[in-house]
Amino acid sequence: MEMIGFAFLLLGLVSPISVASRIQASSELLDFEALNCRKHSAVLTQFGGKGDGKTSNTNAFQSAISQLSKVASDGGAQLIVPPGRWLTGSFNLTSHFTLYIHKDAVILASQDESEWPLIKPLPSYGRGRDDSGARFISLISGTNLTDVVITGGNGTIDGQGAIWWQKFKNKQLQNTRPYLIEIMFSTQVQISNLTLLNSPSWNVHPVYCSDVIIQGLTIRAPVDSPNTDGINPDSCSNVRIQDCDVVSGDDCIAVKSGWDEYGIAFGMPTQQLIIRRFTCVSPYSAAIALGSEMSGGIRDVRAEDITAVTTESAVRIKTAVGRGAYVKDIYVKGVTMHTMKYVFWMTGNYGEHPDNGYDPKALPVIENINYRDMTAENVTIAGHLEGINGDPFTGICVSNVTIGMSSVKSKKGPWNCTDVSGVSSKVSPQPCSLLPEKQPGTIVPCAYPEDKLPIDNVQLKTCSAIV
Ligand SMILES: *[C@@H]1O[C@H](CO)[C@@H](O)[C@H](O)[C@H]1NC(C)=O
Ligand SMILES: *[C@@H]1O[C@H](CO)[C@@H](O)[C@H](O)[C@H]1NC(C)=O
Ligand SMILES: *[C@@H]1O[C@H](CO)[C@@H](O)[C@H](O)[C@H]1NC(C)=O
Ligand SMILES: *[C@@H]1O[C@H](CO)[C@@H](O)[C@H](O)[C@H]1NC(C)=O
Ligand SMILES: *[C@@H]1O[C@H](CO)[C@@H](O)[C@H](O)[C@H]1NC(C)=O
Ligand SMILES: *[C@@H]1O[C@H](CO)[C@@H](O)[C@H](O)[C@H]1NC(C)=O
Ligand SMILES: *[C@@H]1O[C@H](CO)[C@@H](O)[C@H](O)[C@H]1NC(C)=O
C-alpha cells in the first residue's frame, strides 16, 4: 500500500511532516475483508475533515473522493474515516474505491436540507415514493460504479432521521426523503460491518446493480419510524445478504423491482438473491417482503436461517392488479419466529399506484413459492393467503412447519386462503383446503435449490488500513 507517497504527490497541501507525525502518533493497523484491496490510502483529515460533530465535512468528503477517483485505474484508493464524529451532507463514491469507517467513527448526516441536492425519480418508479416530485439524494450515493466497498470495524452511520420523520408525518416535504446508502447502476458492490442508525427513510438501497455483497450490518431505527426499511435490493442480480440484524419501522428486507407501468417498461428484475443468517424485529411489518413494487419481476430468491421476533409477518408477498411481471421461484427454509400476527401472508390487492396511468390488465404472476422447516410461537393467524380473483397464486408449497397459536388467536380460524393453489406436508395447525396434504403420514419437503449462486463463489480478500 502506498500511503505517504500518494498523499504527498496528490495533495500539495499536505506537508510530509504532518503525514509523518500522524503515522507516528497513531499507527493502528486494522485488517478487514473486501472485494479488492487498494494501492493508495488516505485519511479524511488530510482533506480538511474535522471530527468535532459540528463542522460540515461535505467538502472534505467530496474533495477527497474526487482526488482519489484519479487513481481508480492505478490500483484504486481507500479513504479512512478515523475516530470522531463527522457531520456531513451527501457525497458520491467512485470506482475501485473503499470507504473504511473506523469502529469509533460516526458519520452524522446533516439535518440541513440544503446539504441534500435533489435528483430525478428512479426510471422504474416514475416518481418519488413519498411524493410525485424529485428525490433528495442519499447520504452516501454512487452511480455507474465498478468495484466499490463501504466497510468498517462496525463503524456507525447515523442518519439523524427524526427531523425527516416529523416533516414527513406533518406533510412538510415536497420531495422524497433521502436514504442512507444508495448505489445505482453499479457492479461489484460491498457494504459490510457497519452500524446504521436512524435513517430518514430506507437504509440500504442497491438499485440496478449486480454482484452485490451486504453483510455484517446492524440496522436500528425506532419501530414506529416511517419507512425505515432495512435493506432493499431493487432490480438487482446476484446478491448476497448475510449476518445482518435489523430493528426498524418497516420491512427489515424489502425485495423490489419497480412500480406499475414504469417498472414494466424498465423491465429489470431482482434475481439470484440469497439471504442467510438474518434477524429482524419490526412489529408493524415483515421480516422479508417481496414487493409491493415488483413490476420488473422477482425470481430465484433463497432465504435461510432467519429469525423474526415481534414482526407482523415473516415472509410477505405484496402485489396488486397493475403491477404485471411476476414473483416466482421463491425458496425459504429454517425460520424461527416468536410473536407474530401472520406467519404466511400474501396480499394481491395491495393497491398504491404511482398514478392513474397503470394498466388494469397487467396482472402479476405469482408461482412456485416454497416454505419449509419453520417453527413459530405466539401467532395470531397462521396463514392469510389472498390471491387475485381470476389470477390465482399457484404452486405454493408449505412443509414441516409447526405454529404455536397465541391465546388471542383469531376467531376466524388459523388459515384463510382465497384464489391460491398448492400443497402442504406436515404443517400444524392444519392448512386451508386449498393447500391439501401431499402425502399424509410422510414429510414431502418443499423444494430448495442445491446449487450455489455465483455470488457465493466470490472470495473476499484481507486488506488493511492504517488509522
Ligand atoms: C452526485 O451524483 C449525482 C448523480 O447521481 C449528481 O446529480 C450530483 O451532482 C453528484 N454530486 C456531486 C457533489 O458531485
Ligand atoms: C451513468 O451512465 C449513463 C449511461 O452511460 C449516463 O447516461 C449517465 O449520465 C451516467 N450517470 C452518472 C451520474 O454518471
Ligand atoms: C456493532 O455495533 C452495534 C451497536 O453498538 C452492536 O449492537 C453490534 O452487536 C455490533 N456488531 C458486532 C458484530 O460487533
Ligand atoms: C465483519 O463481520 C463479520 C460477520 O459478518 C465478522 O465475521 C468479521 O470478523 C467482521 N470483520 C471485521 C473486520 O470487523
Ligand atoms: C404474545 O403475543 C401478544 C400479541 O399478540 C403479546 O401481547 C404477548 O406479549 C406475547 N406473549 C409472549 C409470551 O411473548
Ligand atoms: C423440520 O424443521 C426443523 C426446523 O424447524 C428441522 O430442524 C428439521 O430437520 C426438519 N425436519 C425435516 C424432516 O426436514
Ligand atoms: C378471508 O380473507 C378475505 C380477504 O382475503 C376476507 O374477505 C374474508 O372475510 C376472510 N374470511 C375469514 C373467514 O376471515
Q: Where does ligand 5 bind, in terms of residues with CB under 6 Å?
A: 339, 378, 380, 406, 408
Domain count, the chain: 2
Please tell me if the CB atom of residue 154 comes closer than 6 angstroms to any atom of ligand 3. yes
Alpha-helix residue ranges (DSSP H) falling in 253-352: 260-266
Please tell me if the CB atom of residue 143 comes closer than 6 angstroms to any atom of ligand 2. yes
Atom of ligand 5 nearest to the CA of 407: 1
User: Does some domain include residue 246?
Assistant: no
Whether the ω angle into residue 292 lies within 30 degrees of 0, i.e. cis, is: yes
| Same domain membership, residue 370 and residue 289 | yes
User: Quick one: which H or E segment has residue 10?
Assistant: helix 4-10
- Report pLDDT digits (tens) over 163-218: 999 999 999 999 999 999 999 999 999 999 999 999 999 999 999 999 999 999 99
Judged against a pLDDT cut of 90, whether residue 28 lies above it is answered with: no
User: Does some domain include residue 219?
Assistant: no
| Same domain membership, residue 308 and residue 436 | yes
Of 182, 183, 185, the one to substitute when testing ligand 2's pocket (max ligand atoms within 8 A of C-beta) is: 185
Give the pLDDT mean for 63-72: 98
Helices H / strands E in the chain, number of each = 5, 26
What is the full DSSP assignment across 55-92? S--HHHHHHHHHHHGGGTTTT-EEEEE-SEEEEE--EE
Give the integer Cα–Cα distance in Å for 198 and 220. 6
Of 400, 403, 438, 439, the one to substitute when testing ligand 6's pocket (max ligand atoms within 8 A of C-beta) is: 400
Question: Which residue's CA is the closest to the ligand 1 atom numbered 4?
Answer: 143
Q: What's the predicted TM-score (pTM) here? A: 0.94
Band (347; pLDDT cuts 50, 70, 90):
very high
| Same domain membership, residue 257 and residue 185 | no
Of 341, 416, 432, 433, the one to substitute when testing ligand 7's pocket (max ligand atoms within 8 A of C-beta) is: 416
Question: Which residue's CA is the closest to the ligand 5 atom numbered 14?
Answer: 339
| Same domain membership, residue 277 and residue 384 | yes
Judged against a pLDDT cut of 90, whether residue 1 lies above it is answered with: no
Q: Find the length of the chain.
A: 467
- Report pLDDT digits (tens) over 45-66: 999 999 999 999 999 999 999 9
Atom of ligand 5 nearest to the CA of 338: 14
Instruction: CATH number of the domain at 284, please.
Output: 2.160.20.10
Question: Which residue's CA is the closest to the ligand 3 atom numbered 4?
Answer: 195
Q: Please, what's the largest Cα pairwise distance for the chain?
A: 78
| Same domain membership, residue 263 and residue 116 | no
User: Does some domain include residue 233?
Assistant: no
User: Does some domain include residue 455?
Assistant: no
Task: Give the number of other Cβ atoms within 10 Å of residue 326's Cβ.
Answer: 21
Question: Which residue's CA is the closest to the ligand 5 atom numbered 8?
Answer: 339
Among the listed residues 75, 94, 10, the one whose alpha carbon sits nearest the alpha carbon of residue 47 = 10
Of 193, 275, 279, the one to substitute when testing ligand 4's pocket (max ligand atoms within 8 A of C-beta) is: 193
Band (261; pLDDT cuts 50, 70, 90):
very high
Alpha-helix residue ranges (DSSP H) falling in 91-241: 162-169
User: Does some domain include residue 47?
Assistant: yes
Q: Where does ligand 7 bind, in terms of residues with CB under 6 Å?
A: 386, 412, 416, 418
Please tell me if the CB atom of residue 156 comes closer than 6 angstroms to any atom of ligand 3. no
Judged against a pLDDT cut of 70, whether residue 96 lies above it is answered with: yes
Give the integer Cα–Cα distance in Å for 272 and 81. 33
The angle formed by the CA atoms of residues 250, 409 and 397, to the nearest 5 degrees, is: 70
**Closest ligand by atom to 410 CA:** 7
User: Does some domain include residue 328?
Assistant: yes
Please tell me if the CB atom of residue 394 comes closer than 6 angstroms to any atom of ligand 2. no
Please tell me if the CB atom of residue 146 comes closer than 6 angstroms to any atom of ligand 2. no
Band (409; pLDDT cuts 50, 70, 90):
low
The whole-number pLDDT of residue 365 equals 98
Atom of ligand 5 nearest to the CA of 341: 5
| Same domain membership, residue 135 and residue 277 | no
Q: State the residue for C-alpha cell 435490493.
A: 233
**Closest ligand by atom to 418 CA:** 7
Judged against a pLDDT cut of 60, whether residue 21 lies above it is answered with: no
User: Does some domain include residue 467?
Assistant: no
Enclosing domain of residue 345: 251-355+363-447
User: Does some domain include residue 457?
Assistant: no
Among the listed residues 198, 239, 240, the one whose alpha carbon sits nearest the alpha carbon of residue 218 = 198
| Same domain membership, residue 291 and residue 142 | no
Beta strands at 155-158 and 105-109: parallel, antiparallel or unpaired:
parallel
The percent of residues in the chain predicted with pLDDT above 70, rounded, is: 94
| Same domain membership, residue 318 and residue 411 | yes
Given a contact cutoff of 8 angstroms between Cβ atoms, the answer to whether 258 and 223 are in contact is: no
The whole-number pLDDT of residue 133 equals 85
Compute the distance from residue 157 Cα to the ligand 3 centre, in Å. 13
Indicate the Cα dihedral angle 371, 376, 381, 382, nearest 10°. Answer: 30
Question: Which residue's CA is the closest to the ligand 4 atom numbered 13?
Answer: 32
| Same domain membership, residue 180 and residue 36 | yes
What is the full DSSP assignment across 123-136? TTTSS-SSSSS-EE
Give the pLDDT mean for 74-89: 98
Q: State the residue for C-alpha cell 391465546.
A: 407
| Same domain membership, residue 255 and residue 184 | no
| Same domain membership, residue 183 and residue 256 | no
Active site residues: 250
Atom of ligand 7 nearest to the CA of 416: 1
Among the listed residues 242, 232, 298, 238, the one whose alpha carbon sits nearest the alpha carbon of residue 273 = 238
| Same domain membership, residue 425 and residue 298 | yes
Give the pLDDT mean for 357-385: 98
Whether the ω angle into residue 429 lies within 30 degrees of 0, i.e. cis, is: yes
